[in-house]
């Protein structure tokens, strides 16, 4: 024990002893009994305090050991999957070091994914629990500072993680009854909602459980479950790729190049940039004459989305039927295809249709990950091909082909993450029923456009559209019919406004349109065009039934109706709503500008003065 620690424990003990002795001296004639009792009390307090400190230290050590155990488990699995000839020259110590290093990096990467999920879902925590044969271990958490335990009970009647592990299906709970079901916590965190999905390895082997929780009731719906299931698949692919990567012995220059590639891929969520980075960086790892990424555009069409090297400019953005290219075979079968002596002019199916390429060595690797959210397909869909070619015969070694596989898998994972992010962004800004922007995005965009209009002295018009007698449609024909009407009106708005404008669902049967750089006259023309289309058409609501629908609209103009003072956004919406109210009051199926409202108010005031 150091001098400081000795004083930290001894001084409080002596002070407590003296205070106890002084107090007890008043009750005893002799000093000795008072001192004895004081010593006993002081020792008891000291023992209790020491027990508290020891328990706290043990708990901390247990958590750290659990963390280390999780990493050791990952490292051991990566190492046990070894035995590759590429590792024969690596010593046991070096192999363990590489395995542990890979496990640490995998944990860090997973933590980043969990943090992204936490941000997207706006939840309390997001954790990944490893499902081992002997125990369940917390691998990573988006909020590791929250009191969590790293070794979970494997068999527990109340554990939600254990339930998912047993039944191997997702579990969504909107109102958590007992916090102890969240077995990764050591105390009650006020969690009310829980969602967990299984993470499978190849062969349907259960690898882990991905969990999110929230303090809100009913925080997670079907979209959140689909997003989490998609993320779970991505994590499974990432773990598989990390394990595969850890088994490969790379030379120093190639490893450095691959690290730079990974870092650059992680720096963007733009798919075109991901493909361009991967194609360009691959040249640092393996010398090639041509590299291409081909992506499916629909069920039959392939597109050269990125190209480097031989005839790159000519091939880029070229589209063709997948059956006319060797890449089509890879797409159909989801398997790699390679040639050591490929002769394009002697084969029925070329590399690219209409192109003679003097390539001898060829490797085509599938890009296999789930397709974007909302499309139900197979478990491991192939959506593209990574193609590498050389003019030289038998140019790519088996080891280099393995590097191609890692690049393809790594790139596919980043493409899938980019698609997940784009889908999440769309979910956050889009109304699920109509496909228009939602109310929150409308408010954010309106604020930005008002700021831009003020800066560049441009006018902006806001139009509010209300479907006339919409409640009657729901009451008479049912809510499904009402939903169809909302979708049809949304299509009219989308087809009428410009691409620079913003059409949004404001709420219920109301829609909002931001017309940038547009005065009252231009806004009135646009609104009248929408009104006439609605008035002249018939809306099919199913079962061969078509009904007539009209709309009332109000318009206000910035800065004509609001001025430039603070609060112009609230004022613009309020005055647009006043114009809409006048249109409905005057009999509906009309369009009014706010200046019409102002003129009526002015006339009414003049009448009252002379009355």
pLDDT above 80: residue 76: no
Q: Where are the domains of the chain?
A: 3-59, 79-245, 250-428, 439-610
| Contacts (Cβ under 8 Å, ≥6 apart) of 90 | 98, 249
pLDDT above 50: residue 373: no
Q: Give dist(CA 257, CA 255) in Å, integer.
A: 5
Beta bridge partners of 555: 463, 593
Query: Of the candidates 346, 345, 348, 325, which has an alpha carbon nearest to the alpha carbon of residue 337?
Result: 325
- Predicted confidence at residue 437, as pLDDT, reads 94
Dump pLDDT digits (tens) for 89-125. Answer: 333 334 444 444 555 566 777 888 888 889 989 999 9
Q: Give dist(CA 413, CA 369) in Å, integer.
A: 7
Mean pLDDT, the chain, as a whole number? 80
- Predicted confidence at residue 510, as pLDDT, reads 97
Query: Which homologous superfamily is 79-245 in?
Result: GAF domain (3.30.450.40)
Range 228-240 average pLDDT = 84
Q: Give dist(CA 516, CA 511) in Å, integer.
A: 16
Are the folds of 250-428 and 439-610 the same?
Answer: no
Range 367-382 average pLDDT = 57
- Predicted confidence at residue 97, as pLDDT, reads 47
Q: Give dist(CA 194, CA 228) in Å, integer.
A: 12
Query: Of the candidates 337, 359, 392, 116, which has an alpha carbon nearest to the alpha carbon of residue 230?
Result: 116
Dump pLDDT digits (tens) for 546-592. Answer: 999 999 999 999 999 998 888 899 999 999 999 999 999 999 999 99
Dump pLDDT digits (tens) for 249-266. Answer: 445 555 666 677 778 888
Share of the chain above pLDDT 90, in %: 37
- Predicted confidence at residue 18, as pLDDT, reads 58
Top mean pLDDT of 196-210, 401-415, 481-495 is at 481-495
Dump pLDDT digits (tens) for 401-432. Answer: 887 888 888 898 888 888 888 877 777 889 98
Q: Give dist(CA 269, CA 116) in Å, integer.
A: 12
Q: What is the band of 135 on the pLDDT scale with cuts at 50, 70, 90?
A: confident
More confident residue, 501 or 73: 501
CA quadruple 565, 568, 570, 573: dihedral sign: positive
The fold of the 250-428 domain, in CATH, is Beta-Lactamase (3.30.450)
b/e map of 214-224 (b: 16 or more CB within 10 Å)?
beeeebbeeeb
- Tally of CA atoms within 13 A in the half-sphere of 279 that contains its CB: 26
| Contacts (Cβ under 8 Å, ≥6 apart) of 200 | 206, 207, 236
pLDDT above 90: residue 9: no
The region of weakest confidence among 102-116, 207-221, 270-284, 422-436 is 102-116
**Contact present, 455 and 517 (Cβ < 8 Å):** no
Q: Give dist(CA 380, CA 364) in Å, integer.
A: 17
Strand extents, DSSP E, 310-400: 319-321, 337-339, 361-368, 382-390
C-alpha gyration radius of the chain: 34
**Alpha helix stretches (DSSP H) within 337-460:** 398-429, 439-456
pLDDT above 60: residue 62: no
Question: What CATH number should be reported for the domain whose range is 439-610?
Answer: 3.30.70.270
**Residue/partner pairs of 506-511 with CB below 8 Å, 24 or more apart:** 506/439, 506/442, 506/464, 507/439, 508/470, 509/466, 509/467, 509/470, 509/482, 510/464, 510/465, 510/466, 510/467, 511/436, 511/464, 511/465, 511/466
Q: Give dist(CA 510, CA 504) in Å, integer.
A: 9
Phi, psi of 563, deg, nearest 5: 75, -170
Residue with tokens 């994914």: 113
Q: Give dist(CA 232, CA 225) in Å, integer.
A: 10
- Give the Cβ contact number of residue 276 at 10 Å: 18
Q: What is the band of 386 on the pLDDT scale with cuts at 50, 70, 90?
A: very high
Dump pLDDT digits (tens) for 144-197. Answer: 767 788 788 776 778 899 999 999 999 999 999 898 889 899 889 999 999 999
Dump pLDDT digits (tens) for 592-604. Answer: 999 988 788 777 6
pLDDT above 70: residue 37: no
∠ at Cα 333 (331, 338), nearest 5°? 80
């Amino acid at each position: 024990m150091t001098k400081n620690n000795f004083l930290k424990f001894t001084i409080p003990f002596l002070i407590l002893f003296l205070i106890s002795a002084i107090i007890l001296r008043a009750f005893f004639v002799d000093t000795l009994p008072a001192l004895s009792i004081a010593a006993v009390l002081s020792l008891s307090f000291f023992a209790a305090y020491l027990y508290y400190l020891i328990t706290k230290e043990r708990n901390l050590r247990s958590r750290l050991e659990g963390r280390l155990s999780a990493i050791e488990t990952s490292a051991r699995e990566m190492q046990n999957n070894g035995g590759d000839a590429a590792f024969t020259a690596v010593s046991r110590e070096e192999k363990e070091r590489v395995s542990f290093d890979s496990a640490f990096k995998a944990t860090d990467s997973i933590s980043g994914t969990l943090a992204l999920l936490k941000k997207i879902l706006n939840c309390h925590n997001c954790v990944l629990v490893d499902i081992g044969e002997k125990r369940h271990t917390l691998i990573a958490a988006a909020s590791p500072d929250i009191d969590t335990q790293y070794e979970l009970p494997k068999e527990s009647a109340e554990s939600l993680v254990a339930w998912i592990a047993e039944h191997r299906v997702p579990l969504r709970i909107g109102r958590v009854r007992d916090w102890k079901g969240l077995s990764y916590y050591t105390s009650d965190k006020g969690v009310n909602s829980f969602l967990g999905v299984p993470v499978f390895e190849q062969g349907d082997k259960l690898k882990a459980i991905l969990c999110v929780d929230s303090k809100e009731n009913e925080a997670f719906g079907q979209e959140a479950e689909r997003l989490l299931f998609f993320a779970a698949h991505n994590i499974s692919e990432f773990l598989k790729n990390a394990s595969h990567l850890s088994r490969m012995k790379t030379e120093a220059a190639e490893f450095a190049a691959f690290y730079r590639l990974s870092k650059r891929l992680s720096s963007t969520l733009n798919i075109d940039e991901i493909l361009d980075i991967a194609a360009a960086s691959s040249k640092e790892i393996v010398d090639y004459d041509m590299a291409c990424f081909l992506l499916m555009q629909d069920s039959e069409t392939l597109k050269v989305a990125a190209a480097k090297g031989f005839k790159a400019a000519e091939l880029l953005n070229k589209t063709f039927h997948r059956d006319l290219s060797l890449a089509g075979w890879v797409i159909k079968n989801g398997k790699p295809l390679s040639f050591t002596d490929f002769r394009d002019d002697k084969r029925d199916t070329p590399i690219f249709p209409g192109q003679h390429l003097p390539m001898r060595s060829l490797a085509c690797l599938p890009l296999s990950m789930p397709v974007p959210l909302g499309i139900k397909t197979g478990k491991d869909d192939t959506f593209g091909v990574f193609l590498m070619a050389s003019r030289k015969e038998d140019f790519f070694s088996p080891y280099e082909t393995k590097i191609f596989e890692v690049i393809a898998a790594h790139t596919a994972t980043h493409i899938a993450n980019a698609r997940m992010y784009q889908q999440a962004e769309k979910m956050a800004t889009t109304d699920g029923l109509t496909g228009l922007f939602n109310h929150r995005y409308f408010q954010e965009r309106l604020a930005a456009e008002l700021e831009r209009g003020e800066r560049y002295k441009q006018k902006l018009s806001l139009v509010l559209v209300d479907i006339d007698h919409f409640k009657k449609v729901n009451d008479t024909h049912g809510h499904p019919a009402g939903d169809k009407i909302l979708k049809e009106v949304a299509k009219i708005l989308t087809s009428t406004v410009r691409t620079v404008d913003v059409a949004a669902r404001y709420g219920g049967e109301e829609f909002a349109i931001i017309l940038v750089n547009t005065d009252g006259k231009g806004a009135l023309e646009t609104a009248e065009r929408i009104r006439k289309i609605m008035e002249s058409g018939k809306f099919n609501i199913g079962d061969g039934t078509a009904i007539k629908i009209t709309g009332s609209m109000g318009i206000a103009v910035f800065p004509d109706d609001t001025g430039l003072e603070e609060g112009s956004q609230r004022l613009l919406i309020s005055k647009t709503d006043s114009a809409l109210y006048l249109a409905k009051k005057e009999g509906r199926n009309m369009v009014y500008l706010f200046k019409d409202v102002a003129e009526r108010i002015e006339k009414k005031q003049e009448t009252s003065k002379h009355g």
